[in-house]
Amino acid sequence: MTTESGFSLVELSIVLVILGLLVGGVLTGQSLIRAAELRSVTTEFQKYQAATNTFRDKYFALPGDMTNATAFWGAAHATPATCLTTTGTGTQTCDGNGNGLIDIGAAASQRSESFTLWAHLANAGLLEGSFSGFAGAANLGDAVIGTNVPRAKLGNAGWTAFIIGNFAGSADLYALDYGNMLIFGAEGTSDTSAPVLKPEEAWNIDTKIDDGKPARGRVIARYWNNLCAAADDGTHANNDLNASYKLSDSSVQCTLYFVKVF
């Protein structure tokens, strides 16, 4: 006679409980990591805003826009026009035009205030890392995370400084006055404008910093047309600012614009 043995019901129950705890722990851990990443967006925004304000208080100009940056950190080239197309060494940089706006360059091969802003902050010791000051190869506003703009802690996101001013609206952007702003998102066709947040996550950040409304206040959502946000009255137009985040959508749909920051 042969004797067959196996797991008892009690042993199987214990194994199932352990597996359940492991799965629950993994899911809980992922949730905690994501929550920490979302909190980091607020922290990073406040850090960059504070750094820019500190820079302005010390140098009496906006980083990137200051007209005497080369007097502090050296010039990539003595001729201003040539400086814009020259890669310097160390802290060498170029001067801005001093108009109070964070402008982009005239060509992708030129230094741009949108990108020298980060280099000037780093030169002043207000930001870690080093930044090229040039747009990427694709276009005038091409942000390359980690090269010309800072990398965020959240996923594949980064930050871009930009000027839009009083904008008439588009298929993605509300018709608003954006001023000098910070853009939080993934690398897109221009700047960090590709979606990186779910609508609920964008709403969470907006609520903590601002008013929780995608088309009002200091935090504005991109992709308004029934994607990240939708109009409460059912109509969809970029000048219809009566909108809410589309919280029922669990897909990644949102980029955030922190407007009139400096």
Tokens of 158: 């980064």
Q: Say how many residues make up the chain.
A: 262
Mean pLDDT, to the nearest integer, of 60-83? Answer: 97
Q: Which two tokens stand for residue 77?
A: 């080239």
Q: Is residue 213 pLDDT above 70, yes or no?
A: yes
For 161-205, the pLDDT digits (tens) are 999 999 999 999 999 999 999 999 999 988 999 999 999 999 999
Select the more confidently predicted residue: 224 or 11: 224
User: Do 103 and 63 form a contact (C-beta atoms < 8 A)?
Assistant: no
Mean pLDDT over the full length of the chain = 91
What pLDDT score does 25 carry? 63
pLDDT at 260: 96
Q: What is the DSSP letter of 86?
A: -
Contact indicator for 190, 240 with CB cutoff of 8 Å: no
Distance CA 116, CA 107 (A): 14
How far apart CA 186 and CA 155 sit, in angstroms, is 9
CA atoms of 225 and 31, how far apart (whole Å): 28
Domain boundaries, the chain: 40-162, 164-262
pLDDT tens profile 243-260: 999 999 999 999 999 999
Task: Report how far residue 216's alpha carbon sits from residue 97's, in angstroms, rounded to the nearest whole number.
Answer: 31
Q: By three-state DSSP, how is residue 230 classified?
A: strand
What's the DSSP call for residue 108?
T
- Residue by residue, DSSP assigns 147-167 as TTBPBPSSTTEEEEEEE--B-
In the structure, what pLDDT confidence band is assigned to residue 27 with cuts at 50, 70 and 90?
A: very low
8 Å CB contact between 149 and 193: no
pLDDT digits over 134-162, tens only? 999 999 999 999 999 999 999 899 999 99
pLDDT at residue 89 is higher than 50: yes
